[in-house]
Amino acid sequence: MITPKPAHLQPRYDVVVVGGGPAGLAAAVGARESGAERVLVIDREPEAGGILQQCIHPGFGLHHFGEELTGPEYAQRAIEQTLEQDVDVLSSAYVLDVAGDRRLKVTSRDHGVAFLDAGAVVLAMGARERTRGAIRIPGERPAGVMTAGFAQKLVNLGGMLPGRRAVILGSGDIGLIMARRLVLEGVEVEGVYELMPHANGLNRNLVQCLHDYDIPLHLSTTVVHIDGRERVEKVTVAPVDEAYRPNMAQARDIPCDTLLVSIGLIPDNELAHRLGLRLDPVTTGPVVTSTMETTRDGVFACGNVVHIHDLVDYVSQESLLAGRGAGAYAIGTPTPPDNVRLTPGENVRYCVPPTITTDREHTVYMRVTKPMAPCTLRLGDVYNRPLRYVFPGEMVTLKVRPRFLEGFHGGSLPVSIVPREEGGSA
């Protein structure tokens, strides 16, 4: 849905949110909830909603809205909730720069180049897809090689097909969903190829996107060459060994005109770099506090800018928190500093936020390195929780309640996920 255009831009806002996807929309609501009066969302697309607008499949909203929605339905609800809060949304606009004093340089279709001052800034630009260049597939550089998400935008918003016969590299959910989408639009999908020995997407997508349409999934196999002068003519695939080295003796050519790559997302951090924010080497997003504030005062971040989420519902919840933090900062409400550091231990890649307080409840998101079932999540020696399973593709969430930390007065708390014997006590 089209949001009403702000008639004129104000020179100063309490909170400016960069990005109008699910993260930015929820952050704007959070900022209003905590008392910020003037809140502006800046978005580069002609309408807000972000990548949800092209994710036409169901599976969104079960946690946040309590019912299963398609991406566009989730987006529309999020936009409506934001507009109800008297938030201005500036579409077809782009933030060129943010200075350390939170002065933003913005260019937009309706207002040209403008400078805005913000009491607090929320970075909610989301993520970008890794491209062919990120994994350096050898070969020529013809048309017809694109990311799965870009193909999704072409098909679902633009009404254009990327080609007639496609190969998909990567078994993440976007790749699986696009395999089904292309088949339903009349494109032949030769197969999905996955470097790892296991599929990366949800079981639901393996069943409903691949098995339902008899699309083969080739594990431990990758694309080793792309051929074609103007347009892709064929790709070469080969099985890989345990060290992911292709076995060229078993390579085979696949005639096709399209190669979709679905090989992961990386936080969009151009503005974080410009601001000189400290980034986490694991998530590659900004380091944040328990109110989602970055290492620069008054600059907050949320959603896929901080770490890649698997459910938009968690993005909305995390972003409400970031918005509340930004609103509180802008109007001068003090926030107690974090006094507990969560340090990733066995089978924990990272925790977001990495620091919390002992005085209130926190939702901590973490990702594991390897599958484990059954297992126990340990918070130092103060709290244990049995888990049926953990998988690298599924974020683990833990509500840390103040009572867990009674008798713990700050400092470092290791977080680990360790195997549990069946029938044993947690």
- For other proteins, the binding residues (CB under 8 A) are 1-2, 46-47, 53, 56-58, 70-73, 75-76, 155-159, 184-185, 197-199, 202-204, 206-208, 211-212, 214, 216-217, 219, 371, 373, 388-389, 391, 393-394
Quote the least distance from Cβ 391 to other proteins, whole Å.
Answer: 4
Nearer to other proteins, 242 or 381 (CB): 242
Nearer to other proteins, 165 or 218 (CB): 218
3-class DSSP string for the chain: CCCCCCCCCCCEEEEEEECCCHHHHHHHHHHHHCCCCCEEEECCCCCCCHHHHHCCCEEECCCCCCCCEEHHHHHHHHHHHHHHCCCEEECCEEEEEECCCCEEEEEECCCEEEEEEEEEEEECCCEEECCHHHHCCCECCCECEEEHHHHHHHHHCCCCCCCCEEEEECCCHHHHHHHHHHHHCCCEEEEEECCCCCCCCCHHHHHHHHHHHCCCEECCEEEEEEECCCECCEEEEEEECCCCCECHHHCEEEECCEEEECCCEEECCHHHHHCCCCECCCCCCECCCCCCECCCCCEEECHHHCCCCCCHHHHHHHHHHHHHHHHHHHHCCCCCCCCEEEEECCCCCEEECCEECCCCCEEEEEECCCCECCEEEEECCCEEEEECCECCCCCEEEEECHHHHCCCCCEEEEEEEEECCCCCCC
Quote the least distance from Cβ 317 to other proteins, whole Å.
Answer: 20
Nearer to other proteins, 153 or 234 (CB): 153
Nearer to other proteins, 47 or 233 (CB): 47
Quote the least distance from Cβ 211 to other proteins, whole Å.
Answer: 5
Nearer to other proteins, 115 or 389 (CB): 389
Quote the least distance from Cβ 202 to other proteins, whole Å.
Answer: 7
Nearer to other proteins, 6 or 414 (CB): 6
Nearer to other proteins, 186 or 332 (CB): 186
**How does strand 39-42 pair with strand 12-18?**
parallel
Quote the least distance from Cβ 257 to other proteins, whole Å.
Answer: 21
Quote the least distance from Cβ 216 to other proteins, whole Å.
Answer: 8
Quote the least distance from Cβ 89 to other proteins, whole Å.
Answer: 14
Nearer to other proteins, 64 or 132 (CB): 64
Nearer to other proteins, 220 or 384 (CB): 220
Reading the block at residue 217, the tokens are 């999934």
**CA–CA separation, 50 vs 26, rounded Å?**
12
Quote the least distance from Cβ 390 to other proteins, whole Å.
Answer: 9
Phi-psi label, residue 220: left if phi above 0, alpha if psi -120 to 50, beta otherwise? left
